[in-house]
Amino acid sequence: MPEYEPVLLRRVGRPNSQSIDTYRADGGYRALEKAVAQLTPEQVVDQVKASGLRGRGGAGFPTGLKWTFLPKNHPGPIYLAVNGDESEPCTFNNRVLLEEDPHQFLEGVILAAYATRAWVAYIYLRYEYGRCYRTLEKAVAEAYAQGLLGRDILGKGFHLDVHLARGAGAYICGEETGLLESLEGKRAWPRVKPPFPAVEGAFRKPTVVNNIETLACVTHIIDRGVDWFKSMGVPPDPKNPRDPGSYGPKLYNISGHVNKPGTVELPLGVTVRELIDKYGGGVWKGRKAKGAIPGGISMGIMTEAEFDTPLDFNGPGKVGCLGLGTGAVTVFDEQTSIADVLYNITRFFSHESCGQCTPCREGTGWMMKMADRIRRGDGRLEDLKILEEIGNAIGIMPGTTICGLADGAGWPVKNAIKKFRPEFESLIRAGTKSTSLQLVSAH
C-alpha cells in the first residue's frame, strides 16, 4: 500500500488540538458553513449516501441509507444518539478522536443533525473515558459560545442542543437499543425490534444512532466531496451483489503481542499482515504470530496463514470471521495457548451478557465453564462438540436472542475450535494445564 496521509488523525499531536480556535484555524467548521449555506438537509443525506460511507461501529450499515429510515415529515422531536460506549475489547479508536480532536467529531454531529432534522443530540460515552468526557464537555461549551450549537445556528434557523451522557460500564450498551434504554435511565436491556429506533427510539421518538468515527467521516465527506472519499478503499465485489463496497479511511487499532501497539489511519483494505508488520512493528520478542482477532473479539479469530486477508467490510468474512467489526486487531504469539485465548473470550461474554435471553445467559456461562475446564487440563473431547453446538445455537442470526451479543460470543468459539482443533485435542488428551495459565489467572 502506498504512503497514506492521515485525515481523521491529521491534527493529533498538534499543540492545543482540542481547542475550537486551533480547529477553526485549520479549516474546521468549514463543512458545516458550506452545508447550511448551500445544501438542503436532503442534499446532505444524498451526499453521504453517494459516498458509500458505512458505519464504523461494527455492523457496517450504510450511513446515508440509515438516515432515510426516519419517518417523512415527522413533526418532531427527532433525536440523534451517538454511540461512544466503545466497550469492544482492544478497541480505542473513538477514544483517540475524542481526546485529541473533539471538534472534528462534533462538526460531524451537527452535520448529521442538520441532515436528519434532529433537534437534540445525545452523546453516550463510556464511563471509563474520563478524559474524553472532560475534553468533549469543554468542546461543546466552546461550540455554544461561538453560535455553532443552540438556537439559529449560523443564522440559518437551524437549532440543535447537545447533551453528554455517561454509561455505567456495560458492554451491552454498545447495542443501539440497549444504549437507548440506558440513556432513558433504565436497565440496559436491548429492545425487541421492530419497532426500530428510526421509528421509535429515544423517549419513543424517531432516533438515528451513529458511531463517533462514522460522524467524523461525515465532516470530511461534506468538506472534501464524495469523489475524494470514494478514491480510497475497496470497490464492491462483483461476485457479491450484497456488497456495497468499503470506501474511505479507517482507524485501526493494533494491540496484543506487537512491538508498537497503537492507532493508525489507513484506507479500508489494508491486510492484517501489513498492519502488524509495517505499522505494529512486528510480533514482539522475535516470536512468530499464532493468530489474531481482526476487529474486536466478537468477530472471531484468524490464523497466521490468513493474515493476507484485507481488512475491509467484506474480507474477514471470506476466512470465516463475522466481519470487520471495529478494526481492532489483537495479536497473540506462538507461545500463547489457544485454550487461554478461548477462556478469556468466553469469560468476557459471560460477564457482559445482560441476562435477558435464556440462550445467551446460560450459553455464555456454559461456554466459559467448559473453556476453563479445558485450560485446566480437565477437558473432554466431547466438550469441543458441545461448544460448537452452543456457538451455533445462540444468537440473533439463528433467531434465539434479541440482540447480537450472543452471536459475538459464539463466533470466536466456533472459529477457535475449527481452526485450532489439533491444539485443543492435544491439550485434552495430555490432561495438562495450558502453558500460559499463570499469566491468564494473574489478570
d(CA 443, CA 311): 29
Nearest one of 411, 402, 409, 412 to 176, comparing CA atoms: 402
Domain ranges of the chain: 20-231, 246-333, 338-442
CA 181 from chain centre, in angstroms, equals: 19
Grid cell, residue 46, equals 444524498
pLDDT at 41: 96
Q: For the structural domain made of 338-442, what CATH number should be given?
A: 1.20.1440.230
Nearest one of 273, 255, 276 to 309, comparing CA atoms: 273
User: Residue 274 contacts by C-beta under 8 Å, 6 or more apart in sequence?
Assistant: 1
Listed in sequence order, the DSSP H helices in 52-150 are: 63-67, 93-100, 102-116, 130-145
Residue 438: exposed, middle, or buried by beta-carbon count in 10 A (0-12, 13-18, 19+)? exposed
DSSP string, 357-414: SHHHHHHHHHHHHHHHHHHTT---HHHHHHHHHHHHHSSTTTT-SSSTHHHHHHHHHH
Sheet strands side by side (includes 120-125) = 150-153, 158-166, 120-125, 79-84, 207-211
pLDDT at 3: 79
Nearest one of 155, 160, 198, 179 to 83, comparing CA atoms: 179
Instruction: Say if strands 302-303 and 150-153 run parallel, antiparallel, or are unpaired.
Output: unpaired
DSSP string, 273-297: HHIIIIIS-SBGGG--EEEEESSSG
pTM > 0.75: yes or no: yes
User: Residue 362 contacts by C-beta under 8 Å, 6 or more apart in sequence?
Assistant: none
Q: Which residues pair with 267 in a beta bridge?
A: 249
For 20-231, CATH number out of 3.40.50.11540, 1.10.10.10, 3.40.50.1370, 3.40.50.2300 equals 3.40.50.11540
Nearest one of 96, 41, 101 to 73, comparing CA atoms: 41
pLDDT at 1: 54
Class of domain 246-333: alpha beta
331 φ, ψ (degrees, to nearest 5): -100, 140
> How confident is the prediction along the chain (443 residues), in pLDDT tens digits per residue?
567 899 999 999 999 999 999 999 999 999 999 999 999 999 999 999 999 999 998 888 999 999 999 999 898 899 999 999 999 999 999 999 999 999 999 999 999 999 999 999 999 999 999 999 999 999 999 999 999 999 999 998 899 999 999 998 899 999 999 999 999 999 999 999 999 999 999 999 999 999 999 999 999 999 999 999 999 999 998 888 888 999 999 999 999 999 999 999 999 999 999 999 999 999 999 999 999 999 999 999 999 999 999 999 999 999 999 999 999 999 999 999 999 999 999 999 999 999 999 999 999 999 999 999 999 999 999 999 999 999 999 999 999 999 999 999 999 999 999 999 999 999 999 986 765 544 443 33
